[in-house]
Structure 1
Amino acid sequence: MEYISPPLSREEDSMQRILCCQCGTMIEPNPANMCVACLRTQVDITEGIPKQSTVYFCRSCERYLQPPSGWVSCSLESRELLALCLKKLKGLGKVHLVDAGFIWTEPHSKRLKIKLTIQKEVLAGTLLQQVFVVEFIVHHQMCEDCQRREAKDYWKAVVQVRQKTTHKKTFLYLEQLILKHNIHSNVLRIKEIKGGLDFYYAQKQDARKMVEFIMSVVPSKYKTSQELISHDVHSNTYNYKFTFSVEIVPVCRDNVVCLPRKVANSLGNIRLGEKDTCTN
């Protein structure tokens, strides 16, 4: 047997409700003594939050500007892009953010729409919740890295890779490794020279990483040099251009190499067959 409480009479029900002080609608008691519709006409909790903003997108590297000067890679309707857009809304820190999500738009429309649900305490402790949409306009702006890459003359370091051979098997192998490990991501320009390639970089550190990578995958040696471009006497700063000359050993895979017996012994006692011959 289950106990069911009897329904409240009209008098008891009217005792638990009050009239709205603005429109006279029967409502449950609250600190403001107003219904939700009247409360929204009196207070706008979205005041101070912009309903439209701007984000900048680089079409060359497909990255978004993260103020003040950072650029981040974000896919459409991703969490990273959502966080970037929310950081641009200044008045969002004065309210409690309940939910946020993208509203689908055409990719070519250059518009990003975000639906926000916020809460704020107003009028003697009354908690008001409101849903609104913020629109972000996507503007195109080329980042500094892409500007330097397009200029093609701005560089601080160059890696000159050379190999004295009649074929390019080593360079073809090296090209596959560079693409596989994405070592070319910071290259400003690649220039083909007779006997090798030149890799131009905006930073010396990027050029040194390329040299270290080449040294780790193919037998080679390198030497460095620098050239003074400008000098500021007042701040005592120097501007140099660095050159890394990398020479790859002129031996490729599947090549037959004949070593003198003494050299073979010095390299770990390489054993030769009875029919093999060596020349001094």
Structure 2
Amino acid sequence: MADLSSSGMFLPIHTQGTIPCPTCSTPILPSSANQCPRCLSARADLTSPLPRHLSLLYCPECVSYLQPPKTYLRADPESKQLLSICLSRVKKPLSSNRLKLVHADFVWTEPHSKRIKLRLRVQGELDRNTIVEQTHVAEFQVVDHLCDSCSRANANPDQWVAKVQLRQHVPHRRTFFYLEQLILKHRAADRAIRIQETCDGIDFCFSNRSHALKFVDFVSGVVPARDRSDKRLVSHDSKNSTYNYQYTFSLQICPVCREDLLCLPPAVSRSLGNIGPLVVCTKVTNSLALLDPATLRVAYLDAKEYWRTAFEALMVSRQLVEYVVLDVDEKNVREETVGGTRYCLAYMQVARVSDFRKNDNIFTVKTHLGRLLSRGDYALGYDMYASNSNNREIEKYKGLVIPDVILIKKSYKETRQRKRGKQRTWKLKSLGMDVDATTAKGKMDMEKREHEYEQFIKDLEENPDQTFNISLYKNKDYQPSEMASMAGGDDERLPLDELLAELKLKDMEEETDAESDADSMMDCDRH
């Protein structure tokens, strides 16, 4: 072959010749091996330095695998976490032999075979111009071995390393019932080896201090609480300079609950923009949502600012009195939304239900429930006219005009009477707590707890907004009555469509494993 140049002369074109592969006669470029990549790959074995049989230490109690030297990581079958643990075992042989990992995935094995097979696709350079890609299968044998924390827990269940003590000094357990549902929804107490219910709170025992600290952070993020920690020396080895401690974390929850009436101290009222001083707690999270029922002003008091003064509630929910609305004089057009609930100011004439046929006391009140109450409705409120409160904070305000009645919420007493004896379409899960019901005091506490739990369920029925952070499950034992089926369903404030179906743990694990397998395949393909 020749090419015509600009001067009109023909110049030769130099081309590189090819030679046939001595095995398969495929044309290839000359090299030191003088073989095509396919034949060279079949003849040379790049994966010979890589291990084919390895072992993995597995703790069946906490479903975790050993990540050398002493760390146990929780990993589901065929998940990305398990893939990273297996790859860490073959990473050193790959780097020492200058091999590049192209792809990695799991090979299906029998779930009860105690075997995990990992398929690796690696690349290596046999010659300067020859790169070979081969597949290697590494088989891991799963060996059951309890981690240190689980072995101590199995040897003695009462031998805990860290304990979290939840306490709230109030005469009811509404906060603990609500907190229990949050813990179940977010699985915050999965690492607890023991949960024990006491007369004024709950104790959570953990086998690791880090698990207790994580639980403390979770509780402090959902309720206003302050914590205090302490530790006790259990054993000491002077030769190895090792110490074993037992850690105790005390969490004191704010004694202010939802629907409590508060009288703010003057310093707190000024810091919140001169709100109140008589306010109603409408919502409790990591801060307190305070509403002035006379002006619809809203303020939020965080945990640090509350514990700086630490005042008590003026009146609590146990002191609520039932009223009947006789007339609605005037409603304000302006509305305010607090925690998903809309409020409207209104002037109403109310009377105590207990005063019927006894006296004719009628009170004219200004309330924030103008949007919810109408003539003939029932409401629950605090009777400030007949109460005698000895509160330090209220005495600091000179000339303070205290209203006769402060309405808190609408009453659904008639609806409860109609539903009495009916079965609920939903149910709640509970923590497996140890309760001492052998003594007489324990039996009385159990009866009191069941009564308070029923009141908590009724509050959820009356206020569906509270179920926003709570998981509800369908009640499989529910059977609608004949009258309800003819009418088209029971009169339930909580719709059945919004309830969560009670899934089996096996189905949830299969779905999680499928998602993890897909994620691991996508990540390996990117590399």
TM-score computed with the length of structure 2 as normaliser:
0.41
Indicate how the Cα distance of structure 1 residues 247 and 100 shifts in structure 2: closer, same or farther if over 3 A, else same: closer
2:124 aligned partner: 120
Q: For residue 44 of structure 1, report the CA deviation from its aligned partner.
A: 1.5
**Alignment map for 1:239-258 (pairs within 5 Å):** 239-246=244-251, 253=258, 254-256=317-319
Q: Distance in 1 between matches of 2:390 and 2:170?
A: 22
Q: Distance in 2 between matches of 1:225 and 1:124?
A: 65
1:34 aligned partner: 35
Indicate how the Cα distance of structure 1 residues 74 and 207 shifts in structure 2: closer, same or farther if over 3 A, else same: closer
2:149 aligned partner: 145
What do the CA deviations read for 1:207-229 (whole angstroms, capped 9, x no partner)?
A: 46655655665566776655443
Q: Letter of the aligned partner of 2:94 in structure 1?
A: L
Q: Secondary structure at the match of 1:108?
A: coil
Q: Distance in 2 between matches of 1:63 and 1:239?
A: 23
TM-score computed with the length of structure 1 as normaliser:
0.69
1:11 aligned partner: none
What do the CA deviations read for 1:10-36 (whole angstroms, capped 9, x no partner)?
A: xxxxx843362xx5x523244212356
Q: Distance in 2 between matches of 1:149 and 1:73?
A: 17
Q: For residue 39 of structure 1, report the CA deviation from its aligned partner.
A: 3.6
Q: Secondary structure at the match of 1:77?
A: coil
What do the CA deviations read for 1:67-102 (whole angstroms, capped 9, x no partner)?
A: 222222333333333232222124222212232222
2:177 to 172, 176, 192: 172
**Alignment map for 1:1-280 (pairs within 5 Å):** 16-18=18-20, 20=22, 25-29=24-28, 30-31=30-31, 32-34=33-35, 39-40=40-41, 42-89=43-90, 90-93=92-95, 94=97, 95-122=99-126, 125-150=129-154, 151-162=156-167, 167-203=172-208, 206-207=211-212, 210=215, 214=219, 226-231=231-236, 239-246=244-251, 253=258, 254-256=317-319, 259-260=389-390, 262-264=392-394, 272-274=402-404
Q: Distance in 1 between matches of 2:240 and 2:138?
A: 47
Worse-matched range after superposition: 208-217 or 142-151: 208-217
Q: Letter of the aligned partner of 1:130 in structure 2?
A: Q
Worse-matched range after superposition: 75-84 or 214-223: 214-223
Q: Letter of the aligned partner of 1:43 in structure 2?
A: A
1:12 aligned partner: none
Q: Letter of the aligned partner of 1:155 in structure 2?
A: W
Q: Distance in 2 between matches of 1:86 and 1:154?
A: 35
Q: Distance in 1 between matches of 2:149 and 2:206?
A: 10
Query: Contact (CA 8 Å) 1:18, 1:26: kept in 2 or not?
Result: yes
Q: For residue 66 of structure 1, report the CA deviation from its aligned partner.
A: 1.8
Q: Distance in 2 between matches of 1:221 and 1:36?
A: 68
Worse-matched range after superposition: 220-229 or 184-193: 220-229
Q: For residue 234 of structure 1, report the CA deviation from its aligned partner.
A: 6.5
Query: Contact (CA 8 Å) 2:58, 2:142: kept in 1 or not?
Result: yes
Number of corresponding residues: 258
1:9 aligned partner: none
Indicate how the Cα distance of structure 1 residues 206 and 110 shifts in structure 2: closer, same or farther if over 3 A, else same: closer
Bigger RCO of structures 1 and 2 (CA < 8 A, at least 6 apart) = 1
Query: Contact (CA 8 Å) 1:149, 1:189: kept in 2 or not?
Result: no
Indicate how the Cα distance of structure 1 residues 250 and 105 shifts in structure 2: closer, same or farther if over 3 A, else same: same
CA RMSD in angstroms, aligned pairs only = 3.9
Q: Letter of the aligned partner of 1:196 in structure 2?
A: G
Q: Distance in 1 between matches of 2:193 and 2:400?
A: 44
Indicate how the Cα distance of structure 1 residues 273 and 135 shifts in structure 2: closer, same or farther if over 3 A, else same: same
2:358 aligned partner: none
What do the CA deviations read for 1:39-81 (whole angstroms, capped 9, x no partner)?
A: 4565321111112222233322222222222222333333333
Q: What are the ranges of 5 or more consecutive residues in structure 2 without an aligned counterpart? A: 1-16, 259-316, 321-386, 407-527
Query: Contact (CA 8 Å) 1:148, 1:188: kept in 2 or not?
Result: no
What do the CA deviations read for 1:124-145 (whole angstroms, capped 9, x no partner)?
A: 6433332232222223222333
Q: Letter of the aligned partner of 1:141 in structure 2?
A: H
Once the two structures are aligned, what percentage of the paired residues are identical?
Answer: 37
